[in-house]
Structure formats: C-alpha cells, structure tokens
C-alpha cells in the first residue's frame, strides 16, 4: 500500500505537512489527535513600523526583479540514496574540532559542498553557492527558551534560506572542518528572532509583489552552481501507521522549477540512525557523488531498506 499527497510550499512547510500526516494517520485509526493545528497567521504579523536589516535584500528578491531565464538550462534529475549512520558519524567527526562539535546536518552540508567542489573540473565555474533551510519556529516567540505553544502547532510556512558563496578552489583547499565553519557562519545569521521578524517585515514592505529566495535564481555563469540542503529528519515515519502496520519507507519529493539543486535528508524507517537522502541535481553532480563517494551514497533500492 502506498499513500501520497501533494502540498503547496507557499502555504505550508514540511513541519506543517508532518502534523497533517500524523493527524491523518490517527484519524484513519479512529484515534483522537494529540496536537490540534493552529491556523493563526496573525501571530506572524509585521511590526509597526516594519523594518529589517539590509542583509535580507541579499537573500530575497521580488519576483518582478528576477533576471531573464537562461537560453540554456541544463536539466536536473532526481535520485535517492541510502546513507549509513556510521558514514554520518564519520562526516560529523571530520567536520568538528575539539572545541566545536557541528550538527549532523551542518556537517553533511559542508561535506556535500566540498565534495562537489572537489569534483568540479569546469574551469569556467569558479564559484558555488550553498543554502540551508532554517525553521524559524525555534527562534520566534520563545517562552522560557522553549518554542511557544502558539508556534509549536502553527500550520504555515516559517522558513528562511540563508546561503554562502565560495570559490571552488578555496573549498578544495580547505579541510572539512573549515568548510563547516563557513556553513555555520551563514546559517548563524538566520538562527535568531530578529532575522525572522525582519523577514516578516521585508515581505510586508514589498507587498503585493511576491518574493522568492534569491538562491533559487541567478546567473549561473557568473554566480556559479547553487544548491539548497533541507532537513526532513523530523519526518515522523513511525507515527504514520494508517491501520495496516508501521511504514517501511517515507520520503519527500520536490517537483523543482529552478536550476538550483535540492537535497533533503530523511530518517530511515529502520530507526537506526541511517538516512534516506533525496537529491535533485544535474548529471555531472550525480557523477561526482557516485564516483567520489560510493562508500557514503548507496543508490536506494529494495535491498537497502530491508
């Protein structure tokens, strides 16, 4: 049995989708929902007067200011990989130092950024961009250093996508922990309440024009290839029993409309710390991943799930 659903990312993020999937599963089993979703967009109202730091102009762009589409757009394809827990721990160890232990997601992001730079032999592509999806629920409306109950169950989209730019030659020369420091640097700029309050105000001041994250668009030749890493590791696979047993596999799929690459990390249904990683990249990038890191990325198959 396979269950799937589609949702609009403009209206909800993965956190909200997870709430829906768990509630759907409980309803199918005739159980009462433990957490009722909150549909109160007013909790994210702009300030009066609205104001924001100018750095947000580097992260977001009105849709009317998008550059013209490229005359040649290399198609992106989707593949899925299985990553063992021991590989994740090794990457995290190499991305950390005695003074600073980096998170698994940040370490994995740094590893991918460096891996693709190491395998980039295109002399015309000197730069690359890496973005990370940040959930703002942890930083807005805290109560005693915990997420406010009003946001904990908020159904909507509370995301930001900070990103960094680096020369591929620079990434090649760096040890992994220095690349991780670079990733930590640009992510840290978004992991605070002021960033998200400023983002709400930025949107308000640009109404009614729609906006997009700048990393999703750009001149690939001058700005280099770009990709975004998102964490789906909170996908509640074991809570999605619709009445016929625990699922064997769960995944997100993103029908991407951008030239920017996309990577999503998800937990294996085994619950042993392994990951399922969804990737939407071009063929050259898949070649680098599969030829330079076959010990890390195993193409997903039935045999890897059992």
pLDDT value, residue 70: 60
pLDDT value, residue 292: 95
CB-neighbour burial class of residue 90 (10 A; exposed 0-12, middle 13-18, buried 19+): middle
pLDDT value, residue 1: 76
pLDDT value, residue 143: 44
pLDDT value, residue 144: 44
List the alpha helices (DSSP H) in 119-223: 149-152, 168-173, 176-188, 193-205, 220-223
**Stated pTM of the model:** 0.89
> What is the Cα 1 distance to its own chain's centre?
28
Q: Which domains does the chain have, with CATH numbers?
A: 14-68+75-305 (3.30.559.10)
pLDDT value, residue 192: 92
pLDDT value, residue 148: 61
Per-residue pLDDT of the chain (306 residues; tens, 9 = 90+): 788 888 887 788 888 888 888 888 888 888 887 777 888 877 788 999 999 999 999 999 998 887 666 655 677 889 999 999 999 999 999 999 999 999 999 999 999 999 999 988 765 568 899 999 999 888 886 544 555 666 778 888 889 999 999 999 999 999 999 999 999 999 999 999 999 999 999 999 999 998 889 998 765 556 778 999 998 877 787 788 888 888 888 887 776 667 889 999 998 888 889 999 999 999 999 999 999 999 999 999 877 766
pLDDT value, residue 116: 94
With DSSP H G I counted as helix, E B as strand and the rest as coil, what are the percentages for the chain, rounded to 5? 40, 20, 45
């Amino acid at each position: 049995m396979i269950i799937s659903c589609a949702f609009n990312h403009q209206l909800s993020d993965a956190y909200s989708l997870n709430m829906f999937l768990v509630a759907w599963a409980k309803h199918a089993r005739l159980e009462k929902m433990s957490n009722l979703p909150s549909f109160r967009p007013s909790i994210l109202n702009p300030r009066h007067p609205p104001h924001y730091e100018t750095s947000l102009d580097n992260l977001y762009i009105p849709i009317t200011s998008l550059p013209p589409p490229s005359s040649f757009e290399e198609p992106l394809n989707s593949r899925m990989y299985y990553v063992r827990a021991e590989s994740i721990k090794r990457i995290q160890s190499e991305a950390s130092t005695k003074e600073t232990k980096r998170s698994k997601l940040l370490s994995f992001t740094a590893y991918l950024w460096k891996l693709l730079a190491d395998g980039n032999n295109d002399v015309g592509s000197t730069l690359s961009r890496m973005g990370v999806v940040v959930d703002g629920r942890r930083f807005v409306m805290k109560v005693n250093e915990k997420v406010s109950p009003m946001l904990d169950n908020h159904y909507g989209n509370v995301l930001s996508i900070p990103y960094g730019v680096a020369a591929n030659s620079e990434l090649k020369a760096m040890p992994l922990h220095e690349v991780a420091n670079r990733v930590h640097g640009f992510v840290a700029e978004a992991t605070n309440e002021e960033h998200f309050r400023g983002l709400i105000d930025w949107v308000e001041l640009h109404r009614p024009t729609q906006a997009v994250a700048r990393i999703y668009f750009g001149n690939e030749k001058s700005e280099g290839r770009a990709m975004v890493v998102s964490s789906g590791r909170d996908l509640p696979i074991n809570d999605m029993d619709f009445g016929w047993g625990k699922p064997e596999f769960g995944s997100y799929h993103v029908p991407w409309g951008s030239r920017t690459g996309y990577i999503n990390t998800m937990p294996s249904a085994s619950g042993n710390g392994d990951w399922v990683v969804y990737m939407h990249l071009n063929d050259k990038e898949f070649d680098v991943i599969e030829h330079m890191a076959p010990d890390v990325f195993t193409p997903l198959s039935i045999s890897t799930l059992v």
